[in-house]
Amino acid sequence: MKKLMIIYVIMTLPAVSAFCAGGEKSKIFTPYFDMVLTEGVYVPSEGNFFSGGEIDTRVGLLAKASEKDSFFGLYSFAYSGPGFNPQDTEQWQDRSLSHGFNIEYRRNLSDKFRIRPGIAYSTEFRRTGSNEAWENGLYNTDSLGGQLAVDYNFDFEKNGMLTFQALYRNIEFPNYTDLLSEFNNASNTAETSGGLQDQKMKQVSLRPGWNNFFGGITYTLQDYENQKVVESNGAYGNTLQENKTTRFDLGFHHTLWIFEMYPVASYTMYRSNQNYMRYKYLGATSTDLTSGSSDVTFVSKSYDYNEIELSVPVDLLLTKTGKWAINGSMSMTKRDYTDRPPRDANNNYDFSKQQNNLLTVLGGGLRKRLNDVSMFRINYSLIIAESNNKFEQYLPYNYTGNSLGISYQLKY
Protein backbone atom coordinates (compact mmCIF):
# COMPACT_ATOMS: atom_id res chain seq x y z
CA MET A 1 0.00 0.00 0.00
CA LYS A 2 2.88 2.27 0.90
CA LYS A 3 4.45 1.49 -2.46
CA LEU A 4 1.22 2.40 -4.19
CA MET A 5 1.00 5.70 -2.34
CA ILE A 6 4.53 6.63 -3.29
CA ILE A 7 3.87 5.80 -6.92
CA TYR A 8 0.68 7.87 -6.77
CA VAL A 9 2.46 10.91 -5.33
CA ILE A 10 5.27 10.69 -7.89
CA MET A 11 2.84 10.35 -10.74
CA THR A 12 0.59 13.13 -9.54
CA LEU A 13 3.36 15.69 -9.85
CA PRO A 14 3.65 15.67 -13.63
CA ALA A 15 -0.10 15.47 -13.97
CA VAL A 16 -0.57 18.57 -11.83
CA SER A 17 2.16 20.33 -13.73
CA ALA A 18 0.60 19.43 -17.02
CA PHE A 19 -2.70 20.81 -15.82
CA CYS A 20 -1.06 24.09 -15.02
CA ALA A 21 0.33 24.03 -18.49
CA GLY A 22 -3.19 24.07 -19.72
CA GLY A 23 -2.29 27.24 -18.99
CA GLU A 24 -2.64 28.79 -22.34
CA LYS A 25 -2.93 31.82 -20.03
CA SER A 26 -0.11 31.36 -17.62
CA LYS A 27 2.42 29.41 -19.68
CA ILE A 28 4.37 28.70 -16.52
CA PHE A 29 4.48 25.07 -17.59
CA THR A 30 4.56 23.87 -21.16
CA PRO A 31 4.35 20.13 -21.84
CA TYR A 32 5.94 18.34 -24.76
CA PHE A 33 4.92 14.92 -26.08
CA ASP A 34 6.27 13.19 -29.16
CA MET A 35 5.65 9.54 -29.92
CA VAL A 36 6.43 7.64 -33.11
CA LEU A 37 5.42 4.01 -33.62
CA THR A 38 6.69 2.03 -36.57
CA GLU A 39 6.10 -1.60 -37.41
CA GLY A 40 7.28 -3.38 -40.51
CA VAL A 41 7.80 -6.70 -42.21
CA TYR A 42 11.19 -7.46 -43.74
CA VAL A 43 11.87 -9.86 -46.59
CA PRO A 44 15.57 -10.51 -47.23
CA SER A 45 17.01 -12.23 -50.28
CA GLU A 46 18.44 -14.91 -47.99
CA GLY A 47 16.63 -16.28 -44.98
CA ASN A 48 13.03 -16.06 -43.93
CA PHE A 49 10.91 -12.94 -43.52
CA PHE A 50 10.67 -11.30 -40.12
CA SER A 51 8.99 -8.36 -38.46
CA GLY A 52 10.32 -5.53 -36.38
CA GLY A 53 9.31 -2.23 -34.90
CA GLU A 54 10.52 1.03 -33.48
CA ILE A 55 9.12 3.15 -30.69
CA ASP A 56 10.45 6.59 -29.96
CA THR A 57 8.77 8.51 -27.17
CA ARG A 58 9.76 11.80 -25.62
CA VAL A 59 7.89 13.45 -22.82
CA GLY A 60 9.08 16.81 -21.58
CA LEU A 61 8.06 19.72 -19.43
CA LEU A 62 9.32 23.28 -19.62
CA ALA A 63 8.89 25.22 -16.39
CA LYS A 64 9.38 28.95 -16.46
CA ALA A 65 10.68 30.16 -13.11
CA SER A 66 11.13 33.82 -14.07
CA GLU A 67 11.55 36.00 -17.13
CA LYS A 68 15.12 34.83 -17.50
CA ASP A 69 15.16 31.42 -15.87
CA SER A 70 13.52 28.17 -16.83
CA PHE A 71 13.97 24.44 -16.39
CA PHE A 72 13.41 21.74 -18.95
CA GLY A 73 12.98 18.09 -18.04
CA LEU A 74 12.90 15.43 -20.72
CA TYR A 75 12.28 11.71 -20.48
CA SER A 76 12.90 9.64 -23.57
CA PHE A 77 12.05 6.04 -24.22
CA ALA A 78 13.33 4.27 -27.30
CA TYR A 79 12.88 0.74 -28.55
CA SER A 80 14.46 -0.58 -31.71
CA GLY A 81 13.53 -4.03 -32.93
CA PRO A 82 14.71 -6.33 -35.71
CA GLY A 83 15.34 -4.75 -39.09
CA PHE A 84 17.85 -4.22 -41.85
CA ASN A 85 20.89 -2.28 -40.67
CA PRO A 86 23.95 -0.88 -42.42
CA GLN A 87 26.75 -3.43 -42.66
CA ASP A 88 29.17 -3.67 -39.72
CA THR A 89 26.66 -2.13 -37.32
CA GLU A 90 24.05 -4.50 -35.93
CA GLN A 91 22.59 -7.88 -36.78
CA TRP A 92 19.06 -8.00 -38.15
CA GLN A 93 17.68 -9.57 -34.99
CA ASP A 94 19.36 -7.18 -32.54
CA ARG A 95 17.04 -5.21 -30.27
CA SER A 96 17.67 -2.32 -27.96
CA LEU A 97 15.68 -0.56 -25.29
CA SER A 98 16.70 2.67 -23.57
CA HIS A 99 15.51 5.18 -21.03
CA GLY A 100 16.98 8.66 -20.90
CA PHE A 101 16.53 11.45 -18.37
CA ASN A 102 17.76 14.96 -18.98
CA ILE A 103 17.33 18.03 -16.79
CA GLU A 104 18.43 21.36 -18.13
CA TYR A 105 18.55 24.82 -16.58
CA ARG A 106 18.11 27.64 -19.07
CA ARG A 107 19.13 31.22 -18.39
CA ASN A 108 18.84 34.12 -20.79
CA LEU A 109 21.97 36.24 -20.39
CA SER A 110 20.66 38.84 -22.81
CA ASP A 111 18.24 39.06 -25.70
CA LYS A 112 20.66 37.11 -27.85
CA PHE A 113 22.59 34.83 -25.51
CA ARG A 114 21.36 31.91 -23.46
CA ILE A 115 23.21 29.25 -21.48
CA ARG A 116 21.91 25.75 -20.79
CA PRO A 117 23.80 23.62 -18.28
CA GLY A 118 22.33 20.19 -17.70
CA ILE A 119 22.73 16.69 -16.37
CA ALA A 120 21.77 13.47 -18.09
CA TYR A 121 21.41 9.83 -17.21
CA SER A 122 20.53 6.99 -19.51
CA THR A 123 20.40 3.23 -19.37
CA GLU A 124 20.30 1.00 -22.40
CA PHE A 125 19.58 -2.72 -22.77
CA ARG A 126 20.59 -4.78 -25.78
CA ARG A 127 19.88 -8.33 -26.81
CA THR A 128 20.18 -10.44 -29.92
CA GLY A 129 16.89 -12.32 -29.67
CA SER A 130 13.58 -12.33 -27.83
CA ASN A 131 14.65 -15.38 -25.79
CA GLU A 132 17.45 -13.49 -24.02
CA ALA A 133 16.94 -11.54 -20.81
CA TRP A 134 17.34 -7.81 -21.24
CA GLU A 135 19.42 -7.61 -18.07
CA ASN A 136 22.11 -9.93 -19.43
CA GLY A 137 22.97 -8.07 -22.62
CA LEU A 138 26.69 -7.99 -23.27
CA TYR A 139 26.49 -4.42 -24.49
CA ASN A 140 24.10 -3.00 -21.89
CA THR A 141 25.22 0.46 -20.80
CA ASP A 142 24.71 3.00 -18.06
CA SER A 143 25.65 6.56 -18.85
CA LEU A 144 25.87 9.57 -16.55
CA GLY A 145 27.19 13.03 -17.25
CA GLY A 146 26.57 16.67 -17.90
CA GLN A 147 26.63 19.24 -20.63
CA LEU A 148 26.85 22.98 -21.14
CA ALA A 149 25.30 24.65 -24.16
CA VAL A 150 25.42 28.28 -25.25
CA ASP A 151 22.91 29.64 -27.77
CA TYR A 152 23.43 32.79 -29.81
CA ASN A 153 20.30 34.05 -31.53
CA PHE A 154 21.47 36.13 -34.48
CA ASP A 155 18.18 36.42 -36.40
CA PHE A 156 14.90 36.45 -34.46
CA GLU A 157 12.76 36.69 -37.55
CA LYS A 158 14.10 33.57 -39.25
CA ASN A 159 15.08 31.68 -36.12
CA GLY A 160 18.79 32.07 -36.73
CA MET A 161 20.67 30.30 -33.95
CA LEU A 162 24.24 29.26 -33.33
CA THR A 163 24.72 26.67 -30.58
CA PHE A 164 27.93 25.54 -28.99
CA GLN A 165 27.79 22.51 -26.70
CA ALA A 166 30.36 20.68 -24.61
CA LEU A 167 29.29 17.31 -23.24
CA TYR A 168 30.76 14.71 -20.91
CA ARG A 169 29.54 11.17 -20.22
CA ASN A 170 30.87 8.38 -18.05
CA ILE A 171 29.73 5.19 -19.80
CA GLU A 172 29.84 1.78 -18.15
CA PHE A 173 29.19 -1.64 -19.66
CA PRO A 174 28.31 -3.69 -16.56
CA ASN A 175 28.05 -7.04 -18.39
CA TYR A 176 30.78 -6.72 -20.95
CA THR A 177 33.52 -9.30 -20.93
CA ASP A 178 36.11 -10.42 -23.45
CA LEU A 179 34.75 -13.88 -24.25
CA LEU A 180 37.85 -14.95 -26.17
CA SER A 181 40.10 -14.11 -23.21
CA GLU A 182 37.82 -16.11 -20.94
CA PHE A 183 37.96 -19.14 -23.22
CA ASN A 184 41.71 -18.91 -23.61
CA ASN A 185 42.21 -18.62 -19.85
CA ALA A 186 39.57 -21.05 -18.72
CA SER A 187 41.56 -22.00 -15.62
CA ASN A 188 41.65 -18.40 -14.44
CA THR A 189 38.71 -17.91 -12.09
CA ALA A 190 39.43 -14.24 -11.37
CA GLU A 191 37.49 -11.67 -13.36
CA THR A 192 40.19 -10.33 -15.66
CA SER A 193 38.25 -9.35 -18.71
CA GLY A 194 35.39 -7.24 -17.33
CA GLY A 195 34.98 -3.49 -17.70
CA LEU A 196 36.90 -3.42 -20.95
CA GLN A 197 34.37 -1.25 -22.71
CA ASP A 198 34.00 1.28 -19.88
CA GLN A 199 34.85 4.69 -21.22
CA LYS A 200 34.67 8.42 -20.76
CA MET A 201 33.15 10.31 -23.64
CA LYS A 202 33.79 13.97 -24.37
CA GLN A 203 32.07 15.80 -27.16
CA VAL A 204 32.02 19.34 -28.49
CA SER A 205 29.74 20.59 -31.23
CA LEU A 206 28.95 23.79 -33.07
CA ARG A 207 25.59 23.91 -34.79
CA PRO A 208 24.17 26.82 -36.77
CA GLY A 209 20.55 26.95 -37.89
CA TRP A 210 18.66 29.54 -39.91
CA ASN A 211 15.31 29.60 -41.68
CA ASN A 212 14.92 25.80 -41.34
CA PHE A 213 18.40 25.17 -42.70
CA PHE A 214 20.67 23.46 -40.21
CA GLY A 215 24.11 21.94 -39.98
CA GLY A 216 27.01 21.40 -37.66
CA ILE A 217 30.31 19.90 -36.77
CA THR A 218 30.68 17.43 -33.90
CA TYR A 219 33.89 16.06 -32.45
CA THR A 220 33.73 13.07 -30.09
CA LEU A 221 36.52 11.54 -28.05
CA GLN A 222 36.16 8.15 -26.34
CA ASP A 223 38.78 7.31 -23.74
CA TYR A 224 38.70 3.67 -22.67
CA GLU A 225 39.52 3.05 -19.04
CA ASN A 226 40.80 -0.54 -19.30
CA GLN A 227 40.88 -1.70 -22.89
CA LYS A 228 44.48 -1.91 -24.15
CA VAL A 229 45.52 -1.70 -27.78
CA VAL A 230 46.57 -4.96 -29.42
CA GLU A 231 50.02 -4.64 -30.99
CA SER A 232 51.52 -6.11 -34.15
CA ASN A 233 52.97 -9.07 -32.21
CA GLY A 234 49.42 -10.10 -31.34
CA ALA A 235 49.67 -9.19 -27.64
CA TYR A 236 48.05 -6.34 -25.77
CA GLY A 237 50.44 -3.46 -25.08
CA ASN A 238 50.21 -0.72 -22.47
CA THR A 239 48.40 1.90 -24.54
CA LEU A 240 44.73 2.39 -23.75
CA GLN A 241 42.21 2.48 -26.59
CA GLU A 242 41.09 5.87 -27.82
CA ASN A 243 38.50 6.62 -30.51
CA LYS A 244 37.96 9.96 -32.25
CA THR A 245 34.97 10.80 -34.41
CA THR A 246 34.50 13.96 -36.45
CA ARG A 247 31.15 14.50 -38.10
CA PHE A 248 29.80 17.19 -40.41
CA ASP A 249 26.14 17.38 -41.28
CA LEU A 250 23.71 19.72 -42.99
CA GLY A 251 20.14 19.71 -44.13
CA PHE A 252 16.90 21.66 -44.41
CA HIS A 253 13.15 21.29 -44.13
CA HIS A 254 11.19 23.36 -46.63
CA THR A 255 8.06 23.26 -48.71
CA LEU A 256 8.57 24.29 -52.30
CA TRP A 257 5.29 24.47 -54.21
CA ILE A 258 3.75 21.01 -53.65
CA PHE A 259 6.99 19.40 -52.50
CA GLU A 260 7.88 19.12 -48.84
CA MET A 261 11.55 18.22 -48.57
CA TYR A 262 13.83 17.44 -45.66
CA PRO A 263 17.15 16.17 -46.98
CA VAL A 264 20.13 15.54 -44.69
CA ALA A 265 23.73 14.82 -45.62
CA SER A 266 26.59 13.92 -43.31
CA TYR A 267 30.24 12.97 -43.47
CA THR A 268 31.89 11.05 -40.62
CA MET A 269 35.54 10.30 -39.99
CA TYR A 270 36.12 7.62 -37.36
CA ARG A 271 39.63 6.97 -36.09
CA SER A 272 40.76 4.51 -33.44
CA ASN A 273 44.18 3.48 -32.20
CA GLN A 274 42.84 -0.05 -31.74
CA ASN A 275 43.97 -2.81 -34.10
CA TYR A 276 42.34 -6.17 -34.80
CA MET A 277 43.35 -9.82 -34.54
CA ARG A 278 41.34 -12.22 -36.67
CA TYR A 279 41.19 -15.80 -35.38
CA LYS A 280 39.70 -18.25 -37.84
CA TYR A 281 38.67 -20.62 -35.09
CA LEU A 282 38.96 -21.01 -31.34
CA GLY A 283 42.51 -21.88 -30.36
CA ALA A 284 43.98 -20.89 -33.74
CA THR A 285 47.69 -20.05 -33.83
CA SER A 286 49.97 -18.65 -36.50
CA THR A 287 53.61 -17.80 -37.08
CA ASP A 288 52.87 -15.22 -39.79
CA LEU A 289 50.45 -12.62 -38.51
CA THR A 290 50.88 -10.48 -41.63
CA SER A 291 49.51 -13.07 -44.04
CA GLY A 292 45.86 -12.60 -44.98
CA SER A 293 45.31 -16.35 -45.23
CA SER A 294 46.87 -17.31 -41.90
CA ASP A 295 44.70 -18.76 -39.18
CA VAL A 296 45.54 -15.68 -37.14
CA THR A 297 46.00 -12.34 -38.89
CA PHE A 298 46.87 -8.93 -37.51
CA VAL A 299 45.03 -5.99 -39.14
CA SER A 300 46.34 -2.56 -38.30
CA LYS A 301 43.79 0.27 -37.92
CA SER A 302 41.02 -2.13 -38.80
CA TYR A 303 38.28 0.12 -37.44
CA ASP A 304 39.13 3.44 -39.14
CA TYR A 305 36.64 4.56 -41.76
CA ASN A 306 35.10 7.51 -43.58
CA GLU A 307 31.37 7.44 -44.10
CA ILE A 308 28.95 9.45 -46.20
CA GLU A 309 25.26 9.39 -45.43
CA LEU A 310 22.67 10.98 -47.64
CA SER A 311 18.95 10.96 -47.10
CA VAL A 312 16.50 12.71 -49.42
CA PRO A 313 12.88 12.30 -48.39
CA VAL A 314 10.30 14.23 -50.41
CA ASP A 315 6.57 14.46 -49.74
CA LEU A 316 4.37 15.44 -52.64
CA LEU A 317 1.38 17.25 -51.19
CA LEU A 318 -1.86 16.09 -52.81
CA THR A 319 -4.09 18.60 -51.06
CA LYS A 320 -3.64 22.25 -50.20
CA THR A 321 -3.88 21.56 -46.50
CA GLY A 322 -1.23 18.86 -46.75
CA LYS A 323 -3.62 16.27 -45.35
CA TRP A 324 -2.67 13.69 -47.96
CA ALA A 325 0.76 13.31 -49.48
CA ILE A 326 2.71 10.79 -51.49
CA ASN A 327 6.25 10.36 -50.34
CA GLY A 328 9.40 9.06 -51.91
CA SER A 329 12.86 8.79 -50.49
CA MET A 330 16.37 7.76 -51.32
CA SER A 331 19.03 7.19 -48.75
CA MET A 332 22.57 5.99 -49.01
CA THR A 333 25.21 5.00 -46.47
CA LYS A 334 28.68 4.52 -47.92
CA ARG A 335 31.51 3.44 -45.64
CA ASP A 336 35.10 3.24 -46.83
CA TYR A 337 37.61 1.69 -44.45
CA THR A 338 40.95 3.41 -44.61
CA ASP A 339 43.05 0.33 -43.80
CA ARG A 340 40.84 -2.72 -43.32
CA PRO A 341 41.15 -5.13 -46.25
CA PRO A 342 38.11 -7.09 -47.47
CA ARG A 343 37.80 -10.82 -46.84
CA ASP A 344 36.86 -13.58 -49.24
CA ALA A 345 34.24 -16.20 -48.47
CA ASN A 346 36.89 -18.28 -46.65
CA ASN A 347 37.80 -15.50 -44.22
CA ASN A 348 41.10 -14.66 -45.97
CA TYR A 349 42.13 -11.01 -46.21
CA ASP A 350 43.11 -9.37 -49.49
CA PHE A 351 45.67 -6.77 -48.40
CA SER A 352 45.78 -5.14 -51.85
CA LYS A 353 42.34 -3.53 -51.31
CA GLN A 354 40.34 -1.69 -48.67
CA GLN A 355 36.89 -2.76 -47.60
CA ASN A 356 33.93 -0.64 -48.62
CA ASN A 357 30.24 -1.02 -47.89
CA LEU A 358 27.25 0.59 -49.55
CA LEU A 359 23.66 0.46 -48.38
CA THR A 360 21.03 2.05 -50.61
CA VAL A 361 17.39 2.37 -49.64
CA LEU A 362 14.69 3.45 -52.08
CA GLY A 363 11.31 4.07 -50.58
CA GLY A 364 7.84 5.27 -51.38
CA GLY A 365 4.52 5.51 -49.65
CA LEU A 366 1.56 7.47 -48.50
CA ARG A 367 1.22 9.98 -45.69
CA LYS A 368 -1.94 11.20 -44.07
CA ARG A 369 -2.23 13.92 -41.46
CA LEU A 370 -5.01 12.71 -39.21
CA ASN A 371 -5.30 16.03 -37.40
CA ASP A 372 -3.15 18.83 -36.01
CA VAL A 373 -1.13 16.51 -33.82
CA SER A 374 -0.94 13.14 -35.53
CA MET A 375 0.23 11.58 -38.75
CA PHE A 376 0.06 8.15 -40.36
CA ARG A 377 2.45 6.70 -42.96
CA ILE A 378 2.64 3.52 -44.96
CA ASN A 379 5.93 2.88 -46.69
CA TYR A 380 7.58 0.35 -48.95
CA SER A 381 11.38 0.18 -49.15
CA LEU A 382 13.80 -1.62 -51.38
CA ILE A 383 17.16 -2.19 -49.69
CA ILE A 384 20.31 -3.02 -51.59
CA ALA A 385 23.43 -3.87 -49.59
CA GLU A 386 26.75 -4.22 -51.37
CA SER A 387 30.28 -4.78 -50.14
CA ASN A 388 33.57 -6.14 -51.41
CA ASN A 389 33.74 -8.12 -48.17
CA LYS A 390 32.46 -11.62 -48.98
CA PHE A 391 32.87 -13.23 -45.57
CA GLU A 392 29.30 -13.30 -44.28
CA GLN A 393 29.21 -15.97 -41.64
CA TYR A 394 28.23 -13.55 -38.86
CA LEU A 395 26.91 -10.44 -40.58
CA PRO A 396 25.29 -10.12 -44.02
CA TYR A 397 27.09 -7.72 -46.35
CA ASN A 398 25.56 -8.41 -49.77
CA TYR A 399 21.83 -8.83 -50.03
CA THR A 400 18.62 -7.35 -51.32
CA GLY A 401 15.69 -6.76 -49.07
CA ASN A 402 12.15 -5.49 -49.15
CA SER A 403 10.25 -3.98 -46.31
CA LEU A 404 6.73 -2.75 -45.83
CA GLY A 405 5.97 -0.65 -42.79
CA ILE A 406 3.37 1.48 -41.12
CA SER A 407 4.17 4.43 -38.93
CA TYR A 408 2.10 6.53 -36.61
CA GLN A 409 3.25 9.78 -35.05
CA LEU A 410 1.70 11.94 -32.40
CA LYS A 411 3.32 15.21 -31.44
CA TYR A 412 2.07 17.89 -29.12
Task: Single out the segment in contact with other proteins by CB under 8 A; choices: 187-195, 223-231, 265-273, 371-379.
Answer: 371-379
Among 42, 52, 161, 329, binds other proteins (CB under 8 A): 52
- Nearest approach in angstroms of CB 368 to other proteins is 13
Spatial CB neighbours of 405, under 8 Å, sequence gap ≥ 6: 38, 39, 40, 41, 378, 379, 381
Query: Is 256 an interacting residue with respect to other proteins (CB under 8 A)?
Result: no
CA dist., res. 190 & res. 37, Å (int): 45
Binding mask 60-99 for other proteins (x = CB under 8 A): -----------------x-x-x-------------x-x--
In 273-355, DSSP assigns E strands to: 276-279, 296-299, 305-317, 324-337
Spatial CB neighbours of 9, under 8 Å, sequence gap ≥ 6: none
Among 285, 346, 371, 393, binds other proteins (CB under 8 A): 371
The one-letter amino acid at 106: R
DSSP secondary structure string, 111-134? SSEEEEEEEEEEEEEEESSTTS-G
Selection from 344, 242, 241 nearest residue 297 by Cα: 344
The CA radius of gyration of the chain, in Å to the nearest whole number, is 24
Query: Is 136 an interacting residue with respect to other proteins (CB under 8 A)?
Result: no
The one-letter amino acid at 228: K
- Nearest approach in angstroms of CB 382 to other proteins is 7
- Nearest approach in angstroms of CB 360 to other proteins is 12
Among 105, 279, 324, 380, binds other proteins (CB under 8 A): 380
- Long-range contacts, 158-163 (Cβ 8 Å, 24+): 158/210, 158/211, 159/209, 159/210, 159/211, 159/212, 160/208, 160/209, 160/210, 160/211, 161/208, 161/209, 161/210, 162/206, 162/207, 162/208, 162/209, 163/205, 163/206, 163/207, 163/208, 163/209
Query: Is 163 an interacting residue with respect to other proteins (CB under 8 A)?
Result: no
Task: Single out the segment in contact with other proteins by CB under 8 A; choices: 54-62, 84-92, 191-199, 310-318.
Answer: 54-62
Query: Is 321 an interacting residue with respect to other proteins (CB under 8 A)?
Result: no
Query: Is 312 an interacting residue with respect to other proteins (CB under 8 A)?
Result: no
* Residue closer to other proteins, measured from CB, 72 or 305: 72
| Residues composing the chain | 412
In 318-371, DSSP assigns E strands to: 324-337, 356-369
CA dist., res. 325 & res. 369, Å (int): 9
- Nearest approach in angstroms of CB 48 to other proteins is 5
Query: Is 44 an interacting residue with respect to other proteins (CB under 8 A)?
Result: yes
In 81-212, DSSP assigns E strands to: 95-108, 113-127, 141-155, 160-172, 199-210
Among 76, 153, 291, 402, binds other proteins (CB under 8 A): 402
- Nearest approach in angstroms of CB 365 to other proteins is 13
Q: Which of residues 8-37 bind other proteins (CB under 8 A)?
A: 8, 11-12, 14-16, 18-22, 24, 31, 33, 35, 37
Query: Is 139 an interacting residue with respect to other proteins (CB under 8 A)?
Result: no
Where along the sequence are the contacts to other proteins (CB under 8 A)?
4, 7-8, 11-12, 14-16, 18-22, 24, 31, 33, 35, 37, 39, 43-49, 51-53, 55, 57, 59, 77, 79, 81, 95, 97, 125, 130-131, 134, 370-374, 380, 382, 399-400, 402, 408, 410, 412
